[in-house]
A and B are shown apart, each in its own frame.
Chain A
Amino acid sequence: MASYELNVNGKNYTVDVDADMPILWVLRDTLGLVGTKYGCGISQCGACTIHLDGTAARSCGIPVSKIEGKKITTIEGLSKDGSHPVQQAWIEHDVPQCGYCQAGQIMTASAFLKDNKSPSDEDIQQAMSGNLCRCGTYLRIRKAVKTASKNS
């Protein structure tokens, strides 16, 4: 085990974990931030998406040892009270069915909208195609991202 300094949602933490432990499990099992979800463990489904220095990243594939010095934002830190425009748009369009993948979808969308303020429909579909949803809420996800882009 080794000691790592982490900055998560603006707070500093010191964690004693194995160097190869993916940041996903550090967040969930060490820090108790369970909003970030496990889906596949191989960066294919997007359920574990977080922001590293503001950029979307798959937390299941990044070992804790590679992340020091970077600012981590999780779904819990996107806003204090669910007021981020993407979260609000998700509520407005009543996007979730089971809801499990939605934290990852929201983290992908919020990072994407930072880089692309007025995306086309195709831009949105491309950007959101890395996140799987078995319930099939893709249409509402598109609408919510569009709405959020106008309200951001």
Chain B
Amino acid sequence: MTIKTDRRSFIKVSTAAGGGLMLGFTWVACKPEAEHAIALAMPEEWYDVNAFLKIGDTGLVSIMSPNPEIGQNVKTSMPMIVAEELGVDWKDVIVEQAALSKDFDRQVAGGSQSIRKSWDSLRNAGATAREMLISAAAEKMEVDARECTVDKGIISHSSGKSVSFGEVASMASKQEVPTQVSFKDPSAYKIIGTDRRNVDGKNIVQGKPLFGIDTRKEGMMYASVLRPPSFGQTLETFDDSAAKNVKGVTEVIRFGDKIAVLGNSNWAAIKGKKSLKAIWKKGESLENSADHDAAMKQILKNAKGESLRKDGDVAKAFKEADSILDRTYEAPFLPHNCMEPMNFMASVEGEKCYAEGPIQTPEWTQNRIATATGLKPENVEIKLTRMGGGFGRRLYGDFAEEVAQISQKAGVPVQLLFTREDDMTAGTYRPASKYRIQAAVKDGKLTAYKLTEAAMNSNMYGLIAHFFPAGCVDNYEVVAGKVESNITTGAWRAPYTNFLGFAEQSFFDELAAEMKIDPVQLRLDLLENVKGTTDENIEYSGERMQGVIKLAAEKAGWGKAKDGVYQGFSAYYSHNTHVAEVAEVVLEDNKPVVKKVYCAVDCGIVINPLAAKNQIEGGIIDGIGHAMFGDLTFEKGSPSASNFDRYRLIRNIEAPDVEVHFVENVLSPTGLGEPSLPPAGGAVANAIAAATGDRFYKQPFIQYKDVIG
């Protein structure tokens, strides 16, 4: 066999297969991070087979986790996919977090897309390496490669001969990269589909430095930044004499309308910031939530906005209807409240910047830093740390941009930490929004459905308009209008649908009552209409949606609840995953209490069931928590809360039990970080309506004090 080291051939292969470039890759020192006991000794030599993996001379395999780890557990699940195709025992794998690198495609944590979009490139990396190991082993054993098999890091020939990965690692790294590889049949999976614990679990429970806030660099100063107290205000002047007298404060730097205080500890920087005396210019536009509400209601009233989808003749159907259901749902702004407040470390030296911290979008952030500092993007190096939550907030690298500017001016490495107050008041909030949903019923059938959105800045994008019940109703229309605001808004866990899911699923419950049909049956009947659709915009599946609805109903014993237990149903497709939920409520002292949520999920192949269930449980609890308590309003541009004394998050004792069931199939996997959240609020609201007769049209639910106490 010809031994080639032409790596460009691999580039062609993996590009064709949808990812995994490996141009100019160099391995950094490998740190063992696996939670399990490593069975094999640490190698003396590592051989890089491709950008995703290297194999040591002892047979230990190190796999790169390319995407940012935000708590969605990709640092375990993505390497599991590579390991599966490679044919290594999971206990012989260690995992390393990749930095931002051109070797990898889409290094983003967002939209629940990490697994779905990397499924092919991860399998390709493992399968390609497996074939190269087989080639090397066949050469070493002087046998036909086609008669070799791989299992648990051993390449075996049909004659009984075998060699280990470690023995042929060096040779394998020099093999010609195969132009075509085949992937394992799911029935042969040994790692995918099995429970594997978080590779960082042991480090997390010991408090090891993993997070952005734990980053340290020699000569690094800590910074705290004072920003305008209200959206719409700017800085006129400031007096920093008191701040400079605070022990440990080293420097005060103005940049734009912000003032950074640098110190030798976070405390010095925070205390220094509190000692600043700033005079703010009275803003021209200090906004109030009451005005936002009025403007959004006007949009709903006039159905003014962009038409995102229109089927049939909606107006005619409403004119001819026997009955019309018309409801409006309202939601406030929400801050993200990641438990780890925003932070980043940057060290700008001359033409170069080294930046390290928690970020969902390293590539975008690289460009943001470059633009803010005038450096070339290729001179901005970004290393990724574990993130103490993201939920969309860490898509926006404003804090990384800020700290790079501060470091550039200060000439030292700087770590910027938002206090909780900074984090909650300088947010990129989930936009406040309202939905009006109208349905026309004639001869016992749903004949028209119209959804109108009004949102601050913007919320819905085109794809959402093609979600259920699009394709199920002949006359269907979605219109989205917006109110421009200077309050920064952005993606928040399950963006666009985190509130829409509640609104629509609450509406369907009332619609079923109006049509005198069981709410589960109403959905199943409607979904019949979308089966076999040729509409390319419709990406949800009628069959898969019916599958989760039936599974959730079966597991929860829908319609057969014990006396005193009230059930609410909800089903929603988002982020390419189909989910159905049944919430159970009981009355305690005549007040509804959510006791349990049953959840059925179709995400295709479940990579790691243990972690997958964690995501579903968390999404449901997070969804219920924000539906119940999440609330942020603005008065004169200033948010109503700045810390957890006035902003309520769900607590342990308020969390219901969750029972998760996955639909078993071998379809390509989809993501789980978000899809269980949108249906949760609706399931709870419908169960509360069943228990009390009271319908909730606004979030948070705690404003319905007479119902829930």
Contacts and interface: CB of A to CB of B under 8 A. Distances in A.
Nearest to B389: A98
A35 B208 contact: yes
B632 to A, nearest CB: 15
Contacts of A142: 652
Given A100-B211, A125-B653, A136 B201 contact: no
Interface in B606-657: 610-611, 614-615, 617-622, 625, 643-645, 649-655, 657
Interface string A25-53: 10011101111111111101101000000
User: Which among A47, A76, A82, A100 has the highest number of chain B CB atoms within 10 Å?
Assistant: A100
A72 interface: no
A38 B421 CA distance: 12
A129 interface: yes
A34 B430 CA distance: 31
User: Which among A32, A47, A132, A136 has the highest number of chain B CB atoms within 10 Å?
Assistant: A136
User: Which among A36, A47, A78, A91 has the highest number of chain B CB atoms within 10 Å?
Assistant: A91
Nearest to A140: B614
Interface in B207-221: 207-211, 213-214, 216
B370 interface: no
B114 interface: no
B198 A94 contact: yes
A109 B364 CA distance: 40
Contacts of B202: 82, 91
Interface in A95-140: 96-103, 106, 122, 125-126, 128-140
B205 A34 contact: no
A74 interface: yes
B339 A98 contact: yes
B339 A100 contact: yes
A132 B247 contact: no
Nearest to A35: B207
Contacts of A40: 420, 643-644
A57 interface: no
B478 to A, nearest CB: 30
B386 interface: yes
B617 A139 contact: yes
Given A106-B205, A135-B618, A135-B622, A91 B652 contact: no
Nearest to A132: B649
B338 interface: yes
Nearest to A45: B644
Contacts of A56: none
A44 B339 contact: no
A98 B611 CA distance: 12
Contact of B205 (A21, A47, A82, A100): A82
A90 B205 contact: yes
Contacts of A133: 339, 652
A17 to B, nearest CB: 8
A98 B417 CA distance: 18
A99 B210 contact: yes
A141 interface: yes
B386 A98 contact: yes
A112 B26 CA distance: 48
A42 B509 CA distance: 42
A139 B655 contact: yes
Contacts, number: 195
Interface residues of B, number: 70
Contacts of A140: 614, 617
A149 interface: no
User: Which among B72, B200, B420, B615 has the highest number of chain A CB atoms within 10 Å?
Assistant: B420
A102 B618 CA distance: 14
Nearest to B210: A99
A68 interface: no
Contacts of A102: 204-205
Interface string B384-408: 0011111100000000000000000
Nearest to B76: A94
User: Which among B271, B622, B655 has the highest number of chain A CB atoms within 10 Å?
Assistant: B655
Nearest to A106: B205
Contacts of A32: 216
A41 B213 contact: no
A32 to B, nearest CB: 7
A94 to B, nearest CB: 5
A136 B618 contact: yes
B387 A98 contact: yes
Contacts of B391: 134
A42 B205 contact: no
B667 to A, nearest CB: 25
A69 B71 CA distance: 38
Contacts of B182: none
B625 to A, nearest CB: 7
A8 interface: no
Given A21-B265, A101-B339, A41 B197 contact: no
B70 interface: yes
A135 B340 contact: no
Contact of B73 (A18, A74, A97): A97
A20 B246 CA distance: 12
Given A18-B267, A39-B339, A100 B388 contact: yes
Interface string B647-683: 0011111110110000000000000000000000000
Contacts of A141: 652
Contacts of A25: 265-267
A75 interface: yes
B617 A96 contact: no
Contacts of B270: 41
Contacts of A103: 204-205, 207
A3 B209 CA distance: 27
B66 interface: no
A138 B655 contact: yes
Contact of B201 (A22, A37, A42, A91): A91
B441 to A, nearest CB: 37
Nearest to B70: A98
A20 B387 CA distance: 30
Interface string B120-133: 00000000000000
Contacts of A29: 222, 264-267
Contact of B621 (A81, A87, A138): A138
B341 A38 contact: yes
A18 B247 contact: yes
Contacts of B206: 35, 75-76, 78-79, 81-82, 87
Nearest to B620: A136
A94 B339 contact: no
Contacts of B649: 132, 134
B251 to A, nearest CB: 17
B205 A91 contact: yes
A129 B87 CA distance: 44
Interface in B314-344: 337-341
Contact of B389 (A42, A125, A135): A135
Interface of B: 35, 70-73, 195, 197-198, 200-202, 204-211, 213-214, 216, 222, 247-248, 264-268, 270-271, 337-341, 386-391, 417, 419-421, 610-611, 614-615, 617-622, 625, 643-645, 649-655, 657-658
Q: Which 10 A-B pairs have the closest CB atoms?
A: A35-B207, A100-B388, A98-B71, A136-B621, A75-B207, A136-B618, A44-B644, A99-B204, A97-B71, A29-B265
7 contacts: A18-B271, A37-B388, A87-B205, A90-B205, A100-B338, A136-B619, A140-B614
Given A28-B266, A135-B618, A136-B655, 11 more contacts: A18-B271, A35-B208, A37-B339, A79-B206, A87-B206, A98-B388, A98-B389, A103-B204, A132-B651, A133-B339, A140-B617
